[in-house]
Structure 1
Amino acid sequence: MRVLHVISTLEPGAAGHQLRLLVRRLPYDSEVVTLDTGGGLTGTRVHRVGSARDHDPAAVRRLRRLMRSGRYDLVHTHLYRAGVQGRIAARLAGIRHVVASEHHLGAEIIEGRPVSPGVRALYLAGERLGQVTIAPCPAIAARLRSWGVPDERITTIPKAIDAGEFRFDRGVRAATRARLGIEEDRAVIGGVGRLEPDKRFDLLIRAITEVPDAMLLLVGDGSARAALERLAEIEGVADRVRFAGPVGHPREMLCAMDVFASPDQSSFGLATLEAVASGLPAVYGSCLPLEELTAARTPVRGTFRLSQDRESLPRALRTEMLCLAERRGERLPARSAGEPYDADRLADSVGSLYERISARPVKRRVIGPLLGSRGRFGRKNSFPLPGGSVRNA
């Protein structure tokens, strides 16, 4: 089976990492097309089809040509923009089997921009041209249903990690700290993720004011970085906050940390699972896998869920600093959330889904209403779908 994965961006982020884990493990001839110009996947052929907006007939034409020439059996889209354009292009190219993954579809915000009725309408117009949408958790599955996606066209497959990729190494820790200008004996609290307002890294900067002598290391980039840098200056902790920028893989940065913190109250919690696999204690606002284990009375050692109380974060960080001192700086053992969140399980589940839908007879859906009165992309007033330039990449 030849599979083409269409993704909005391969820049560092959860969706790109999930795709990397997937294509390495799927027993198919897989290629990738990205709608931006950055990033790559080692060992996998990557095509680039530039697209600066969701409503982009020219990009759909380029995708259609690529799909026809590649003779793919199945198209798998990842993220909002790729889902809209990739499903339409796949139908125009005559590809019968189409899967979509919604990695982090926001309730009111997608990648820092508002979700409007037009955004939902554009999404649904493309969704009906596919067969199945993969949601990483029940909350996103419920969100898709609330948008109008039929329940029978949604399946839930959790995100996953390869725990072995995050193993702790003292040499890596020392080299990373030296590169960042952080003393070896300095306690480091770290956060990893997109620097966007909804990730609430501002709470971490305010909390570090109440944790004397600790350094804060923020890994990632985004629209809120400049505001966070200004906040660090206003709070008088600019000398204790390091902005590392985006990284291709977070292992080195996790090795440099002593405590991991994620104040976001709405995330799946993949970065928290990576931190736990690196042997870090973790305080978090939201991490579905760890919450499930806590509910089952099998909590993961060294993890603490924050409450909505803003004092919860600085209090938890001070507690972890005391625990770190009691351990004399020793690392915790690597832990995991178990087999359901393992990368091999992810690939097995997605592969089984591919086989199931490939065996089904496909009912052709009418695409004419999507194409405008002349039925071709690129003509004036063609592709008259609603939608702005909202991104989920």
Structure 2
Amino acid sequence: MRDAPHILQVMAARGHGGAELYSTDVMLGLHRAGVRQTVVLHPDCPRLKELEDAGLTIDTDTLKPPFPLWRKWRMTQLIRRLEPSIVHCWMRRAAASMPANASHLSGNRPVIGWFGNYRDLKPYAHCTHLVGCTPDIAERMRADPDWHPADKATATDRIFSAPTFSSVTPAPALPRSELDTPEGARILLTLSRLHSAKGLETLISAMQQLPDCYLWMAGEGPLREALEEQAKQEGVIDRIRFAGWRTDRGALLAACDICVLPSRYEPFGTVILDAWSTKTPLVACAAAGPRAYIRTGENGMLTPIDDLQALVDAIRSVLGDSILRERIVSGGLANYEHGFTPKVVIDRWRAIYGACLASV
């Protein structure tokens, strides 16, 4: 094995999303830290050019259409040719593209499967190691009967956790005129896919009781038309801005009064880190991720899932109490700097790679 490991990163998704954003941020962070990598991407990956411009070695042939069987054959040829120290599969599609003998094609190499949420482990059958984005996800993996590495006796020693980190770049506040918002209005911001798991329907309903607020919804997804129709029916469409997928999250966060994460289902929630790192007050619903990290009144405000009145009350409390705002901003920033900065997380990934190499 080489002294300087060569990581083969495999990211098969081709759309926008939190996991896609995080995985490529990790690749960029490892590149800046001097880690040798080859990155396998779908040809339509939206951040392809950014990774190329940064100087990473990119392969888009292996995951090109049309047939999964051909992809496994191409993956086999690529692994044999590159002889990487580690193969790192980001999410289910990448793991499912692994040939059955991926670990043994040119030596007994680790094959890592990464989880951003709670998933069926069957597609990860050919992975020798697993990494979840929270300790809770890692614990669930240890108890899952569907993952059976060759050496079952050491299975629990081959499961790790590594948090996400915020890649928001500080920026001047987005001018309100760009989203047709009056100067005196309070701005609530969401950064998420427009999906039923995100609880955005509850926040739209809350707008009826928050007449001095405008809601900026940054993101796209299958629920957009339904959310727009709901906003019309509830008479709040004139104060909601569907901003689409954005790459200027720093400017949006700098402009808003509160970042809201009303998710019904959220294994972690990198939006928490986006808010903490930019000193933005945060209100979230008590899905698994926010519940594990947010302490009401200390680093954010936590409300029960789908509890309309509790969400309204929390937002009003933050808007109306400057001492509370300062306290949760200060607490969030302290938590971020202690455990979730890019350096902390990249160092964690390098330690995981070292532990994986030592275990085979």
TM-score bin (small chain): 0.7 to 0.9
C-alpha distance in 1 between matches for 2:101 and 2:255:
44
For residues 186-225 of structure 1, the aligned pairs below 5 Å read 186-225=185-224
2:36 corresponds in structure 1 to 29
Contact 1:133–1:153 under 8 Å retained in 2: no
1:161 maps to amino acid: F
1:224-248 CA-to-partner distances (Å, cap 9, x unmatched) read 1111111111111111111111123
1:158 corresponds in structure 2 to 162
2:281 is the alignment partner of 1:281: yes
TM-score, reference length from structure 1:
0.74
C-alpha distance in 1 between matches for 2:272 and 2:252:
13
C-alpha distance in 2 between matches for 1:307 and 1:221:
25
Contact 2:10–2:90 under 8 Å retained in 1: yes
Contact 1:8–1:36 under 8 Å retained in 2: no
2:309 corresponds in structure 1 to 311
2:152 corresponds in structure 1 to none
Q: 1:7 to 1:326 in 2, by over 3 A?
A: closer
1:85 corresponds in structure 2 to 97
**More deviation, 94-103/333-342:** 333-342
C-alpha distance in 1 between matches for 2:294 and 2:271:
18
2:133 is the alignment partner of 1:133: no
Please give the root-mean-square deviation of Cα atoms over the aligned residues, in Å.
Answer: 3.2
C-alpha distance in 2 between matches for 1:97 and 1:249:
36
Q: 1:128 to 1:290 in 2, by over 3 A?
A: closer
The answer for unaligned runs of 5 or more in structure 2 is: 149-154
Question: Deviation of residue 192 (structure 1)?
Answer: 0.8
TM-score, reference length from structure 2:
0.81
SS in 1 for 2:271: helix
For residues 62-81 of structure 1, the aligned pairs below 5 Å read 62-81=74-93
Contact 2:300–2:329 under 8 Å retained in 1: no
Correspondence for 1:102 among 109, 115, 121: 115
Contact 1:100–1:132 under 8 Å retained in 2: yes
C-alpha distance in 2 between matches for 1:292 and 1:102:
17
Correspondence for 1:38 among 28, 41, 45: 45
Which structure shows the bigger proportion of residues in helix conformation? Answer: 2
The percent of aligned pairs where both chains have the same amino acid is 20
Question: Deviation of residue 282 (structure 1)?
Answer: 0.8
Contact 1:78–1:102 under 8 Å retained in 2: yes
Work out which structure has the larger RCO, using CA pairs closer than 8 Å and 6 or more positions apart in sequence: 1
C-alpha distance in 2 between matches for 1:36 and 1:92:
27
Contact 2:7–2:86 under 8 Å retained in 1: yes
1:386 corresponds in structure 2 to none
SS in 2 for 1:195: coil
2:17 is the alignment partner of 1:16: no
Contact 1:262–1:284 under 8 Å retained in 2: yes
1:158-199 CA-to-partner distances (Å, cap 9, x unmatched) read 323257x443x4xx2144x33222233321101111111111
Contact 1:259–1:282 under 8 Å retained in 2: yes
Give the aligned length: 334
